[in-house]
Chains A and B, each alone.
With several copies, the nearest count.
Chain A
Amino acid sequence: MVYYRRKGRFAVTSMTMVKALNSALDNAMERDDSIILLGEDVGVDGGVFRVTDNLIKKYGSARVMDTPLSELGIVGFGIGMSMAGLRAIPEIQFQDFIYTAMDQIISQMAKLRYRTNGDYTLPMVLRTPYAGGVHGGPYHSQSGEEYFATTQGLTVVTPSNPYDAKGLLLSSLNLNDPVIFLEPKRLYYAGKMDVPDDYYTVDLRKAKLLNEGDDISIITYGPAVPLVMNTVKKNNINADVIDLRTINPFDIDAILKSVQKTTRVLIVTESPKMFGVSAEISATLAEKAIDYLSAPILRVAGLDIPIPFALEDYYVPNEKRIMNAVNKIMQYR
């Protein structure tokens, strides 16, 4: 994994993504007493992945709230708090269970600013671990970013490394709009990198060019980023690798700029292909960049099925599938 580092006037610590997120929450809560964390097991237990570890000790149970078992309640409670001037950070223990809160998300959270013409705004960040990696079967491995991306009014963010995780989370907390913050659980403990201990932000509306190359643009985000980067390195692909960071609204300029240069495009997501996020990236290019394209736009994605417990490893994209697609695209004349 190639990470970029920020050194200099900040003290940095080598952190996992979990630690970086924890550090972000700590920084934010310290600066702003309107921030409230809530969710199942986020308090005393510190979250099932430990993202909220120890925060209840520092900030008390009025700000780090163990809730009853209801995602509808967790999201709705957060919405109410944020309507009343607080800034709620609800956690959904696994993305797979967020569907029980879908009405709150689609009907209330996403629409509140628009339907009231800004009478009410909703500064809140809904965090949830998503995608595979823990081999948890159909209900612990789903991605589901497409449900949120297609919901007008939401901002959908997903980091791919500890540094971004902290900076993007802190940026999300500066928005006056609701954010769905998707944390790739396969990257929670996948490696450490230097992360400033102090507060900093990463621009939400800018994609990150992780690798530069002339032959092909590989567009990806979140859980699929390390796989793509490893594949590119290992196979010496001369590729632009674009990490979207924010799925909606995505950084159209970064994508167009790269595609104009390379004229060949692959999109890689861990979530399934059909009607997924990759479709919009491709469709946007088919609208705005058709004349630049010298090959079909291909997509490598999770299979279009629920995630089978025993066979998760065959469900997710892998190096071979990426290389097959890259070769097809590169050989296309």
Chain B
Amino acid sequence: MIEETDISDEKLLNAYKNLIMERVMDKKMLNASRQGFLPFYIPLMGHEAMHIGLGLALRKQDFIYPYYRDFGVLLQMGIPIDTIMSQVFATANDNALGRAMPDHFSLKKYNIGAVITTVAGHLMSATGIAYARKYREIDGGVLTTFGDGATSTPDFHVAMNFAGVYNLPLVFFCENNGFAISVPTYPNESGQTDAYEETKGMIYKKAEAYGFSGIRVDGTNFIEVYKNTRKALENSNNTPILIEAMSYRMGPHSTADDPNKYRKNDVTEGSEKDPVIVSQRLLKEMNILDDNKIKEIEDETEDSSSKLINKYEKAAKPDKNTILDNLYEEEPWYITEERGDLQ
């Protein structure tokens, strides 16, 4: 079935290119990390359609507070690639001087929050940002992303509650990839955990407890993600909303993780639910893509991404003398003293 959409073919094709870019970059960065060029890396495979859909949905006036697995959102948003790569490779050019882990972006000027490692630790911040924008009558919505595991946290409950109570322009976007590291959102056949049942795992339904509504979307379909999220952002002045996007974490949780310990990989690259395959099918049906074009994009991407990785692998690291900067606006005496220790 051809999806109806209000965006141009050109935009869709471009989105597809970004999606492929994310896939290819992901592999190369995982590789870079295995070779020691990246000390840590958070794989993206399986999340691409959500990311590209979100990036398409976000307007200039919107604000996003992402979590740590949202590389592709920034790609699609059009954030300069140097800004993105300098962060991921923690280079001297990173606006945060490589202080945060890879994919922990902080880009105030692009309306992007400061990604935090603590699961759900940003949800109340997003809620407060939504309040501030409402107070200042700023146009646009606020969107925040998080994983399925995050819905078990205190912060999820409290943020949902505040958003409901103050009726904030806030879109809660859950990237449900089926796992919180090794713990599945839903039970799997091997019965490795008896902790979750499908009914308990209906994340989108949790919104009702807070007096607003939740919807579920196909997180492997970037057009569906785009449309629902855009609508939510446009409507969010009336009420908050929770969107649960169903996907699958196709890779390990992080470079420190070995998924073979706890699951069979149900969704593999090239399989029916792979977001790349889904996207190709969608765009082919819309006559935007064909096999030649697919190959062409792949080759181009392969090339450009290799160059990028090479460049940032070799980029200079932050100067150690910056280490004590910017803890406070006015430096305390003991920080000044500690500058001596560095010499």
| Chain A interface (Cβ < 8 Å from any Cβ of B) | 36, 40-41, 43-46, 48, 61-62, 66-70, 72-73, 75-86, 88, 96-97, 100, 103-104, 107-108, 112-121, 134-140, 152-153, 155, 175-177, 205, 248-249, 252, 273-274, 303-306, 308-311, 314-315, 321, 324
Chain B 21-65 near chain A by CB (<8 Å), digits 1 or 0: 000000000000000000110000000000000000000000100
Known: A45-B262, A84-B128, A177-B329. A137 touches B117 (CB 8 A): yes
Q: Name the residue of chain A whose CB is nearest to the CB of B101.
A: A137
CA A117 to CA B99, docked complex, whole Å: 8
A44: chain B residues within 8 A (beta carbon): 182, 192-193, 261-262
Contact in complex: A311, B323 (CB < 8 Å)? yes
Is residue B154 contacting chain A, with contact meaning CB distance below 8 A? yes
Chain B 115-147 near chain A by CB (<8 Å), digits 1 or 0: 011110111111111111101100000000000
Closest chain-B Cβ to A100's Cβ sits at a distance in Å of 6
Is residue B278 contacting chain A, with contact meaning CB distance below 8 A? no
Chain B 94-118 near chain A by CB (<8 Å), digits 1 or 0: 0111111100101110000110111
Query: In chain B, residues 296-342, which have Cβ atoms closer than 8 Å to a Cβ of chain A?
Result: 317-318, 320, 322-330, 332-335, 338, 341-342
Contact in complex: B152, A310 (CB < 8 Å)? no
Contact in complex: B338, A303 (CB < 8 Å)? yes
Given contacts A308-B318, A310-B317, 11 further A-B contacts (CB under 8 A): A48-B181, A76-B128, A79-B125, A83-B125, A88-B128, A113-B326, A113-B329, A115-B114, A205-B330, A306-B99, A310-B90
Closest chain-A Cβ to B256's Cβ sits at a distance in Å of 7
Contact in complex: B193, A114 (CB < 8 Å)? no
Q: Name the residue of chain B whose CB is nearest to the CB of A249.
A: B332
Which 10 A-B residue pairings sit nearest by Cβ, starting from the closest?
A: A80-B128, A76-B124, A310-B98, A249-B332, A139-B117, A84-B132, A45-B182, A68-B152, A116-B106, A69-B149
Contact in complex: A68, B162 (CB < 8 Å)? yes
CA A66 to CA B191, docked complex, whole Å: 13
Interface size on B, residues (CB 8 A): 78
Contact in complex: A308, B124 (CB < 8 Å)? no
CA A135 to CA B254, docked complex, whole Å: 14
21 A-B pairs with CB atoms under 8 Å apart are A44-B262, A45-B261, A48-B256, A69-B153, A73-B127, A79-B124, A81-B131, A96-B118, A108-B121, A108-B122, A112-B114, A116-B108, A119-B95, A137-B99, A137-B100, A137-B104, A252-B334, A305-B335, A308-B99, A310-B90, A310-B98
Known: A73-B158, A138-B99, A139-B118. A309 touches B90 (CB 8 A): yes
Contact in complex: A41, B183 (CB < 8 Å)? yes
B98: chain A residues within 8 A (beta carbon): 308-311
